[in-house]
Amino acid sequence: MRETRGTEELGAVLDEFIDAGCSHWVCDGGDGTLHWMLSVGDERLRARQQPGDDVAWPSIIPGNGGSIDFVAHKAGIRGDAAALAQALVGHLVDGAVLERVPLDTMRMRGSYRDGGGNFEHLGFASAIGGIAQRVFGKLYERRPVGAWSIARVLGKSAASAVVDLAPGLSQLVPGELRDYANEMFAPTRARVAMDGRTLDFDSFVSLQVGSIDINLGGVVRTFRLAHAPGILHAQAMSTTRLGVVANLPNIVMGTPIWGRHVFDGPTKTMSVEAFAGESLDPVIDGEMFHGLAELRIERGPTLGVPRLRAA
């Protein structure tokens, strides 16, 4: 067991695990902690491989120590890290064969706007722009994050959209709600391509992609097409504020999004390039990043996750 006080300490810890031949990595934390362990682990593992060789990943076991834990829930894992580790040791000592759940990842590469180097992370779900990305900033203003806070932010966003209902109505809406609407519904302007084909719209009120279907606190279900193996599900939407509100049932239930300027389907690759003078601030597995000029997304490794339940 190793405790890290920041992401900068992960590399040395994972090098130690690799050198020791650890066959299972148990993550004590939530989706964001898992994200960092996988991203740094990917870098460390690939550094030891010969060019062209596949990375031999250990078994990854996410705990339920975060706010949402959508990866652990997807894999059917229940219990905190200490209890899971104890159960794992018991199974291994007994020689039990654990069922493994394959979980697809996606690799996100890019560059920073200010020339601050390259960006590369592994993840499962990313809100790249628009309201999908801005929801997280509002969620993190209040702790803890849970089902109620997700519902509260979505409800307030829908309520703030009334400023678009009729001319002059915005003067009757409290200033705080007008500001909330302006912030939440400000579009992300970028050139986006799916499998090399550029979309015919470049202003996005929502832009997101996932490698697995996810459930956020029982409130939002999304990336339904990523339930099938090997598929990235991308969603891009350009519409009015009321168009977003009209699609809210689809966004919450994971059913197809409708509209004139909508992409809601599978893709193998996705590229996003911010307009000059603007930047991308993606959220990946709940972790916020800032100041990117462009992103390229493709399939990452498929991880075998033991389906484990603490006693």
pLDDT given for residue 116 in this prediction = 74
Identify which has the larger pLDDT, 131 or 292: 292
Give CB contacts under 8 A, 24+ apart, made by 218-223: 218/147, 219/147, 219/150, 219/151, 219/154, 219/252, 220/150, 220/154, 220/251, 220/252, 220/254, 221/252, 221/253, 221/254, 222/125, 222/251, 222/254, 223/125, 223/254
Where residue 29 falls among pLDDT bands split at 50, 70, 90?
confident
What would the pLDDT profile of 95-124 be if each residue is shown by its tens digit? 988 889 999 999 999 999 887 789 999 999
| pTM, to two decimals | 0.90
Rounded Cα distance, 141 and 173, in Å: 22
Binned at pLDDT 50, 70 and 90, residue 234 comes out as very high
Q: What is the pLDDT of residue 201?
A: 96
Mean pLDDT across 240-260: 85
Out of 14-28, 68-82, 148-162, 266-280, pick the least confident. 148-162
**Torsion, CA 220, CA 224, CA 226, CA 229, rounded to 10:** 130
- Residue 56, pLDDT > 80, answer yes
Query: pLDDT at residue 280 above 70?
Result: yes
CB 14 within 8 A of CB 26: no
pLDDT of residue 91: 92
| Domain annotation for the chain: domains and CATH numbers | 7-104+302-306 (3.40.50), 106-137+183-301 (2.60.200.40)
Percentage of the chain modeled with pLDDT above 90: 58
40/46 Cα distance (integer angstroms): 10
Strand order in the sheet with 261-267: 261-267, 232-238, 206-210, 125-129, 283-284, 287-288
pLDDT tens, 175-208?
566 677 778 888 999 999 999 999 999 999 999 9
From residue 149, alpha-carbon distances to 138, 152, 222, 240 in Å are: 9, 5, 18, 24
* Amino acid residing at 282: P
**Per-residue pLDDT tens for 127-176?**
999 988 988 878 777 767 767 677 777 777 777 766 655 555 555 555 56
Phi, psi of 139 (to 5 degrees): -60, -40
Out of 12-21, 139-148, 231-240, which region has the weakest mean confidence (pLDDT)?
139-148
**pLDDT the model gives residue 223:** 95
pLDDT recorded at residue 16: 96
DSSP-derived secondary structure for the chain = ----SSGGGHHHHHHHHHHTT-SEEEE-S-HHHHHHHHHHHHHHHHHTSPTTPPP-PPEEEE-S-SSS-HHHHHTT-BS-HHHHHHHHHHHHHHTPPPPEEEEEEEEEEEEETTS--EEEEEESEEEEEHHHHHHHHHHTTSSS--HHHHHHHHHHHHHHGGGGSSTTGGGGS-HHHHHHHHHHTPPEEEEEEETTEEPS--EESEEEEESS-EEETTTEEE-GGGGSTT-EEEEEEE--HHHHHHTHHHHHHTPPP-SSEEEEEEESEEEEEEPTT--B--EETTEE---EEEEEEEEEEEEEEE--B--
């519409």: which residue's tokens? Answer: 239
First vs last Cα of the chain: how many Å apart?
20
What does pLDDT average to over the chain?
A: 88
Whether the pLDDT of residue 259 is over 70: the answer is yes
Higher pLDDT among residues 274 and 254, named by residue:
274
Residue-wise pLDDT tens digits, 217-232: 777 889 999 999 999 9
The crossing angle, in degrees rounded to 10, of helices 130-139 and 175-184 is: 130
pLDDT above 70 covers a percentage of the chain that reads 92
Which range (25-34, 80-89, 156-165, 178-187) has the least confidence?
156-165
